[in-house]
Every structure is written in structure tokens, then in C-alpha cells.
Structure 1
């Protein structure tokens, strides 16, 4: 029974870490969340990502292949990821976004086994918790977890679609 439970847990992690995106020609690309390495720098600000607390983000862009070098863009905070993504020039070229599920990960050192699809995540803006660039968006896979976090640390619960540049200010 223990091995079945372990197998189910492994399958869940693989499912959560893998996403598909369709190209205009109907071709599908599978993107997998990448671990944050100690030397990884934030794509937006250049800071070392692993040196900071709070949820991180990463995204994949259309047309960027492994042969071109940078398959995934990593960010030191969810705020930096959204700052990059919400630029209209970038937004139309992004296929997949991941953030840490902070209901399963310690704030001081987020666990890369708990990346979730940012487009289905719930966020808390304006909490007292800070990330690499100060205020950040705490990210959760479930709305109730985001609500509990907001109750404990303040802030407003938002869906992915609710986040715009005014939320980041």
C-alpha cells in the first residue's frame, strides 16, 4: 500500500510539473518546470534567485527552443515574473507560466517540487510577507489556502486574470 501511495504521489508531481502548449500550426510542445539552481539569475532584474525568500516564477516563450539556449526564463519573485509577463510585447509570446504553491512550501526556501500552473493559481497581493523585490504575490493552488494566508498576513486574494500592472504598484 505504501508503494502505491508513493507511486501516486510521483505521478501527481509529474502531472503538476508538465504543461502543454499548442502552436498555431497545431504542434504541441511540452514544457516542464525547471528547478531553481544556485547560480540562476532573475530574467528581469539579474539578482541571484536562490538568495531570496518567497515564491518564484518561471515562464516559457513561443519560438524559444533548447538550441537557442534559454528555454525557460526564471524570476526571483512572482512580482518580477508578472512585471515581465504583463508587458504586451511579452504577454503575447508566453506559452506557460509556473509559480510555487506556498501552501506546500516554506516561505524562506520554496521547494521546486511544488511549482504550479500560474494561470490556474490564486494569489495574495499586499500581504506583509516579502520576496526578493519587497512586496510580492503569494501564490497558491487552492483559493481557500490563499484566503487563509490573507487572513493571517493581510492582502487581497486574486485570480490570475485579476492581476494587472496596478496590482504590482
Structure 2
């Protein structure tokens, strides 16, 4: 009986630990709003998420909004557990940004106008590059593109738009 109790306690403990592990969730397209620009998240090829160490999930309508939120310390970097993007060629799935590859191509406009799309791996990004042109990037390179387009990002609660040129800019001007 003691062995059965120990096994049940171990299973319960492992279940609790697994349940408390921060993880991304499916983006509710057409319902969720972007944590950065506050626009409704509609385009299933461009969604993104930031998950905190406490399990809070911030959703974004584009890679550039995720990157701008991160750069502007929307959440202290020490509290960021993981960041995820929706692969352009595989909507409905999420890939961690550290594993992903990105394409910067005028042939593939993104919701906020920075022409960034994400992919599960470099091979997928290169295949899309063949079709649409542009440059294949790593996650760190996305920050360079963001800086080139907008300069240093404003604080999270600034009146400025998330990434320049999006509809949020029209609403604030």
C-alpha cells in the first residue's frame, strides 16, 4: 500500500510541475488584441507570443510588434520565459524565436508593414526567399531591421506607433 501511495504522490507531483511550466497557447485570431499596438490579431501567418516566467502570455499581430515590445521592456527581460512566432507557411503552429528563421521581403508584406515573416527553420525561409526575394535573418537580425525602420523604440505606453507606418499611427495623430 505504501508503494502505491508513493507512486501516486510522485505522479501527482510531476503533474503539478508540468502544469506550472510556462508554455505558449494557441492564438485566438479574430478575438485577441496585440499587446503592443492594440490592434485585433487577424492574420494567421504572422502571430507571435511572449510567455513570462509566471506563465502570463502576451500576444502580437506581427513579429515586429513582438520585437518592439521586447526592446521597449514591455516585460523585464529577466521575466521573459520564451518568445514564439507563427510560421508563415504553417499557420496554427508556434515556433520558439531561437529556433526560427525570418525573411525580410517586400514581396511578403506583414501586418505592420515591415515585411517580416517567420519560419520554423532556415530551409523554409530560404524556400520562400527563392519565391519572394529578400534576406533570410536570425532573430537578432530582426532587431536591426526594427532599428533601421524606426530608430530607438519608445517606451511601451508611448503615444508613438509600435513599429512605424501602421494603422495605430493614424489613430494617434
**Structure 1 residues 30-81: Cα deviation after superposition (integer angstroms, max 9, x where no partner):** 313333242211110111102x464111111234x5xxxxx21111111111
State how far apart, in whole Å, the 1-side matches of 2:30 and 2:121 are. 29
Moved >4 Å (runs of 4+): none
**Which structure shows the higher strand fraction?**
1
Question: Partner residue of 1:117?
Answer: 96
Question: What 5-or-longer segments of structure 1 have no aligned partner?
Answer: 1-27, 66-70, 105-110
Question: Partner residue of 2:145?
Answer: 167
- 1:31 lines up with 2:16 in the alignment: no
**How many residue pairs align between the two structures?**
128
The answer to whether the Cα contact below 8 Å between 2:27 and 2:47 also exists between their aligned partners in 1 is no
TM-score normalised to structure 2 length: 0.65
TM-score normalised to structure 1 length: 0.66
Question: Partner residue of 2:50?
Answer: 59
Question: Partner residue of 1:101?
Answer: 87
Corresponding residue SS for 1:151: helix
Question: What 5-or-longer segments of structure 2 have no aligned partner?
Answer: 1-19, 150-173
